[in-house]
């Protein structure tokens, strides 16, 4: 997992190249963009929804299900994303997208998805295998941006991608195992999460997907629970729920993911919320986005969480790599 994490800056460049190498053209005017996938593959779709949502004149949605919404049709550009290529929900959604005449692009390492797409004459972006899907966010996100750029739906992003890779290279020096605790934000976060329940708060439309990502990474790497929510919504319900039961609340540790580009009113909410929380939980911390460009800033919040979840696994004496529970569940379902 450490190798995969440290390879992310290079993965992003490779992922971009693979997306740019695809020959694409739209069959009909594109009215919606959709990513269908699950787990680590769906997160790539969420990143697209956040990043491209601000830029595209058409909606970007993520579908995590066997079935597709009714509006999907020939004017839908649909990325069927599955790292393994064998996730049954994604294969089912792919089949339905074919029936509905959607403009499909498969994004995978291989498996049944690649085989079906090739047979159907559907364009496939094949990314390298051998790592966990959750360690492949570059491969599962950047090619979709490249396709949208090639279709003329997004402005040229080559410089942003280069900046992303440069920024991640600098960050990995700060986050890698050799960097001591005093200078390593990921290790500090992991120690604060240890023997507690992590809660991660992001901001709507920016770091919300990152908060969800942190939660998933703690679940899958450290094999521990974690929860997430977003500002400003959490100010309208979750914040009220920190009064009882006191003992259990003191087992929570909250991290707020923030960016100077968050809505100015949301930025005011962070300090007020912390004040209202008082000493209800074990502690609260904040991680600030850094870097130039939306892509670098988005990943500057993701990367510390990825490393922190792996350090947390090590604190628990757990191998962050295998996710036997998911494998078992998929195997049992396949029997039926």
Binding site for ligand F6R (CB under 6 A): 37-41, 82-84, 87, 90, 132-134, 220, 323, 326
In the annotation, is 330 catalytic? yes
DSSP one-letter string for 124-135: EEE---SS-GGG
Distances (CA, A) of 327 to 140, 180, 217, 310: 20, 35, 16, 20
Integer Cα distance of 57 and 82 in angstroms: 26
Residue placing its CB nearer to ligand F6R in the complex, 51 or 83: 83
CB of 306 to ligand F6R, least distance (A): 12
Residue placing its CB nearer to ligand F6R in the complex, 51 or 94: 94
Copy the structure tokens of residue 214: 């942190």
In the annotation, is 176 catalytic? no
Q: Which of 167, 208, 220, 223 is catalytic?
A: 220
Q: Mind spelling out the 3-state secondary structure of 89-101? A: HHHHHHHHHHHCC
Residue placing its CB nearer to ligand F6R in the complex, 87 or 149: 87
Going by C-alpha positions, the residue among 310, 304, 276, 274 that lies closest to residue 290 is 304
Copy the structure tokens of residue 81: 């994303």
Residue placing its CB nearer to ligand F6R in the complex, 182 or 331: 331
Integer Cα distance of 36 and 79 in angstroms: 6
Q: Which of 29, 70, 178, 236 is catalytic?
A: 236
Going by C-alpha positions, the residue among 224, 21, 8 that lies closest to residue 132 is 8
In the annotation, is 183 catalytic? no
Active site amino acids: 220, 236, 330
């Amino acid at each position: 997992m450490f190798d995969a994490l440290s390879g992310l800056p290079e993965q992003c460049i490779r992922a971009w190249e693979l997306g740019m190498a695809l020959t694409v053209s739209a069959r009909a005017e594109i009215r919606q963009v959709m990513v269908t996938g699950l787990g680590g593959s769906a997160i790539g779709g969420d990143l697209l929804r956040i990043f491209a949502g601000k830029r595209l004149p058409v909606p970007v949605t993520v579908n995590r299900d066997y079935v597709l919404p009714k509006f999907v049709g020939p004017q839908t550009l649909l990325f069927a994303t599955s790292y393994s290529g064998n996730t049954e929900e994604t294969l089912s959604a792919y089949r339905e997208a074919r029936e509905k005449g959607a403009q499909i692009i498969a994004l995978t390492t291989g498996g049944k998805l690649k085989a079906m797409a090739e047979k159907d004459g559907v364009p496939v972006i094949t990314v390298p295998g051998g790592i966990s899907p959750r360690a492949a966010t570059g491969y599962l996100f950047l090619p979709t941006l490249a396709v949208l750029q090639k279709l003329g739906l997004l402005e040229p992003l080559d410089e942003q991608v280069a900046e992303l890779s440069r920024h991640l290279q600098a960050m990995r020096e700060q986050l890698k195992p050799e960097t001591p605790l005093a200078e390593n934000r990921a290790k500090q976060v992991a120690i604060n999460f240890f023997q507690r329940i992590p809660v991660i708060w992001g901001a709507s439309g920016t770091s919300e997907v990152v908060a969800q990502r942190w939660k998933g990474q703690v679940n899958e790497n450290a094999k521990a629970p974690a929860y997430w929510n977003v500002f400003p919504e959490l100010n309208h319900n979750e914040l009220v729920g920190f009064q009882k039961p006191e003992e259990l609340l003191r087992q929570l540790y909250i991290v707020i993911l923030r960016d100077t580009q968050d809505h100015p009113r949301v930025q005011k909410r962070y300090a007020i919320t912390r004040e209202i929380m008082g000493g209800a939980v074990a502690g609260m911390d904040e991680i600030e986005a850094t870097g130039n460009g939306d892509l670098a800033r988005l990943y500057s919040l993701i990367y510390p969480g990825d490393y922190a979840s792996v350090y947390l696994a090590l604190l628990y004496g757990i191998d962050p790599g295998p996710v036997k529970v998911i494998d078992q569940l998929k195997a049992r379902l396949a029997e039926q």
